[in-house]
Chains A and B, each alone.
Chain A
Amino acid sequence: MGMAVGNEAGGLTNEPNVVPMIDILLVLLIIFMIIQPMMRKAIDLQLPDPTPQATPAVANPDQIVLEIGPNMALSINKEPVTKDRLASRMKEIYDPRPSKALFVKADGTNKYQDVIWAMDVARGAGVKVIGVPPKDAGT
């Protein structure tokens, strides 16, 4: 570390002192290594078809709708389920099902974090496609 102090003769060598430069470059390297792997993570939501004259999707009896009422009152196809039972119930439903689609119909008064939590649980239970029903679809 520090400047090289010549030979025994006491003469100073005139090589540039690169140690501080290397220190700085290493710090820069570390900073960019930390910044680099920032990856965007998201839950993908399929949007409804913008053409409203399409046949009402509610007619399909095979689909599964997770409703989130006010105050996080959860129900799967109108069957109420508690928050801590949601994960196991979802697994029961989706394990034997070939179609891994779910509609999430959440009340607007819920917190965004809570809705994302429910979608997150659904993805954990094997749901591949999460759909958002059209805004003004009649219940």
Chain B
Amino acid sequence: MGMSIGQSGKTTVKAEPNVVPMIDVMLVLLIIFMITVPALAAGFQAVPPEGVNLKPHPEEDSDQVLGIDSEGRYYLNKQPIRNEDVGEALRRIYDARTVDKILFVKAHRDLQYQKVLDAIDIASKNGVRVVGAISDQRPGTESSVAEDRAAEAAQTGNP
């Protein structure tokens, strides 16, 4: 560990770079990615559509996210769920709520809109009042709606 100090007692200093801290950092990165990659890849994956004028929503634990992947399969909070069971599961969640009946829908961008309409239909019949269609901010753009920008600044400014 540390810089190596010449040979036996002589005061010559080796000019080799000290790679030990770099190796430490690399190993930590390796471990972190080994842990996170399977967790990210497991289960539900979808690429949401891109938009510019999007409304920011701070992530909260009580948020419910209905995912629809590129094959049209449903996932409720990243857990696979059968199409027939979605309605009942949503009803159980939203009957207990009195406010904030919003359901986030994260659907794959290349899906037919019909798939999303079906999900919206199920949601509206089971107590959901608002659907948030999750979208990605197109890189390098900013919402042209002043309220959205203000909301985003408020959320990133004081977390």
Contact = CB atoms under 8 A, between A and B. Distances in A.
4 pairs of A and B residues whose beta carbons are closest in the complex: A3-B2, A108-B114, A2-B3, A42-B132
B110 A113 contact: yes
Interface of B: 1-3, 5, 18, 20-21, 24-25, 28-29, 32, 49-59, 63, 102, 104, 107-117, 120-121, 123-125, 127-137, 143-145, 152, 155-156, 159
Contact of A107 (B28, B54, B113): B113
A40 B114 CA distance: 23
Interface of A: 1-3, 5, 17, 19-20, 23-24, 27-28, 31, 36-48, 50, 106-117, 119-121, 123-124, 126, 132, 134-135
Given A3-B2, A47-B124, A116 B28 contact: no
B124 A40 contact: no
Interface secondary structure of A, over-half rule: mixed
Given A50-B125, A109-B112, A112-B115, A41 B32 contact: no
Contacts of A42: 54-55, 57, 104, 132-135
